[in-house]
C-alpha cells in the first residue's frame, strides 16, 4: 500500500508539475504577447495624441488667421481713411498755395481757373494734387488747343481778400487754337479795356473800393467801375469751361474773291 500510495503520490506530483509548467508557459506567452503589443499600443496612443495635437494646432491657426485677417482689414480700412484724409488735406493745401503762386483758383463747379501767372506746363506738385482729388472732382473741359469751333462759358473773378467777387458770366464762340493761359490773358485784358464803356457795375460788397487817387485816372464813377489800381490787377482770374465743340466749315477763299470781283465789276 505504501508503494501504491507512494506511487499515487508520485503520479499526483507529476501531474501538479505539468499543470504548473503549462500555466507558467501560458503566462509567459501572455506576457510575451503583452510585451509585443506594448510598442503597438504606445504607437497607437502616440498617433492619437499626435492627431489631437495637429487638430488643435489647425484650430488655433484658423482662429489666429481669422483674427489676423479681421484686424488687418480694420487696419487697412483705417489706413485708407487716414490716407484719403491726408490726400484731401494735402490737395487743399497745395491748391491754396497755387492760388497765390500759380494763379489757379478751384471753384464749387469743379472747373479750372486760369490766370496770367499760369505757365503752359503745370508743375509736378499741381499734377499730383489733381491726381489725388481726381476720384472726387470731375474736371470740366478746358482744352482750347484744337481747330474746332468751341462754345466757351467764362467769367472774370476778383480774388482780393474781403473783395472777392465774380462778374457776370459770358458765353462766346472761340475758333482759335490756344492754350488756357492765352485765353485767360486775352479775357483779362479785354475785361479791363471794356471798363471804359462805363457799363460794369461795382459790386455792392465793395462799398468805397476802389478809391480814386489824385493825379491818376479815376477808378470809379459813382457805382460804375472804370478801372483797377495797378497793384490789384494781379487778383484778376478767369474761370472758363468748354460747353460744346463743332466742326468748322471749310474756308471758301476763292468763292469770296469771286464775290468781291463781281461787286467791283457791278460798281464799275
Predicted confidence at residue 17, as pLDDT, reads 56
Which of 101, 130, 157 is where one domain is finished? Answer: 101
Give domain status of residue 216, yes or no: yes
The tens digit of pLDDT for each residue in 29-39 reads 877 777 777 77
Q: Which residue has the higher pLDDT, 249 or 183?
A: 183
What are the grid coordinates assigned to 171, written together? 458765353
Instruction: Assess whether 146 and 219 both reside in one domain.
Output: yes
Give domain status of residue 232, yes or no: yes
Structural domain range at position 93: 1-101
The tens digit of pLDDT for each residue in 214-263 reads 989 999 999 999 999 999 999 999 999 999 999 988 877 677 778 888 88
Of 30-39, 62-71, 87-96, 102-111, the range with the lowest mean pLDDT is: 102-111
Q: DSSP states of 157-177 as a string?
A: EE--TT--EEPPPEEEEE-S-
Instruction: Assess whether 126 and 158 both reside in one domain.
Output: yes
Instruction: Assess whether 16 and 43 both reside in one domain.
Output: yes
Which of 58, 82, 101 is where one domain is finished? Answer: 101
CB 94 within 8 A of CB 122: no
Instruction: Assess whether 236 and 187 both reside in one domain.
Output: yes
State the distance between the two ends of the chain, measured CA to CA, in whole angstroms: 188
Instruction: Assess whether 136 and 223 both reside in one domain.
Output: yes
Of 80-94, 110-124, 146-160, 214-228, the range with the lowest mean pLDDT is: 110-124
Mean pLDDT of the chain: 75
Does the pLDDT at position 7 exceed 50? no
d(CA 2, CA 37): 51
Strand partners, 112: 240
d(CA 25, CA 43): 27
Instruction: Assess whether 81 and 154 both reside in one domain.
Output: no
Give domain status of residue 257, yes or no: no
Give domain status of residue 190, yes or no: yes
The distance from CA 210 to its chain's CA centroid, rounded to whole angstroms, is 43
Predicted confidence at residue 47, as pLDDT, reads 82
Is the model's pTM score more than 0.85?
A: no
Backbone angles phi, psi at 9, to 5 degrees: -60, -40
3-state SS class at 268: coil
Give domain status of residue 260, yes or no: no
Instruction: Assess whether 146 and 230 both reside in one domain.
Output: yes
How many domains does the chain divide into? 2
Instruction: Assess whether 86 and 2 both reside in one domain.
Output: yes
Please compute Rg for the chain using Cα positions. 50
Model confidence at 182, in pLDDT bands (50, 70, 90)?
Answer: very high
Instruction: Assess whether 166 and 240 both reside in one domain.
Output: yes
Q: DSSP states of 139-156 as a string?
A: PPP----SSSEEEEEEEE
Instruction: Assess whether 132 and 89 both reside in one domain.
Output: no
Instruction: Assess whether 181 and 245 both reside in one domain.
Output: yes
d(CA 195, CA 129): 36
The residue-averaged pLDDT of 177-184 equals 94
The tens digit of pLDDT for each residue in 91-105 reads 566 555 554 544 444
Amino acid at each position: 500500500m505504501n508503494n501504491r500510495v507512494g506511487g499515487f503520490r508520485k503520479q499526483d506530483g507529476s501531474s501538479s508539475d505539468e499543470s504548473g509548467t503549462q500555466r507558467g508557459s501560458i503566462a509567459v506567452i501572455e506576457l510575451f504577447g503583452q510585451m509585443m503589443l506594448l510598442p503597438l499600443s504606445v504607437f497607437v496612443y502616440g498617433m492619437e495624441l499626435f492627431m489631437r495635437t495637429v487638430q488643435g494646432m489647425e484650430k488655433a491657426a484658423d482662429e489666429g488667421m481669422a483674427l489676423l485677417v479681421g484686424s488687418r482689414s480694420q487696419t487697412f480700412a483705417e489706413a485708407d481713411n487716414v490716407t484719403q484724409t491726408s490726400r484731401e488735406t494735402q490737395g487743399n493745401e497745395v491748391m491754396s498755395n497755387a492760388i497765390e503762386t500759380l494763379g489757379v483758383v478751384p471753384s464749387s463747379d469743379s472747373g479750372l481757373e486760369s490766370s496770367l501767372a499760369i505757365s503752359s506746363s503745370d508743375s509736378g506738385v499741381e499734377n499730383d494734387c489733381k491726381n489725388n482729388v481726381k476720384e472726387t472732382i470731375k474736371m470740366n473741359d478746358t482744352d482750347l488747343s484744337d481747330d474746332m469751333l468751341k462754345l466757351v462759358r467764362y467769367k472774370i473773378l476778383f480774388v482780393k481778400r474781403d473783395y472777392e467777387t465774380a462778374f457776370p458770366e459770358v458765353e462766346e464762340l472761340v475758333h482759335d487754337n490756344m492754350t488756357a493761359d492765352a485765353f485767360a490773358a486775352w479775357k483779362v485784358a479785354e475785361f479791363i479795356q471794356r471798363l471804359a464803356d462805363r457799363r460794369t457795375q461795382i459790386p455792392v460788397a465793395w462799398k468805397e473800393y476802389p478809391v480814386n487817387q489824385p493825379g491818376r485816372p479815376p477808378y470809379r464813377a459813382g457805382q460804375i467801375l472804370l478801372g483797377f489800381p495797378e497793384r490789384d490787377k494781379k487778383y484778376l482770374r478767369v474761370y472758363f469751361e468748354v460747353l460744346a465743340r463743332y466742326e468748322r466749315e471749310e474756308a471758301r477763299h476763292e468763292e469770296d474773291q469771286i464775290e468781291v470781283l463781281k461787286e467791283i465789276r457791278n460798281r464799275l
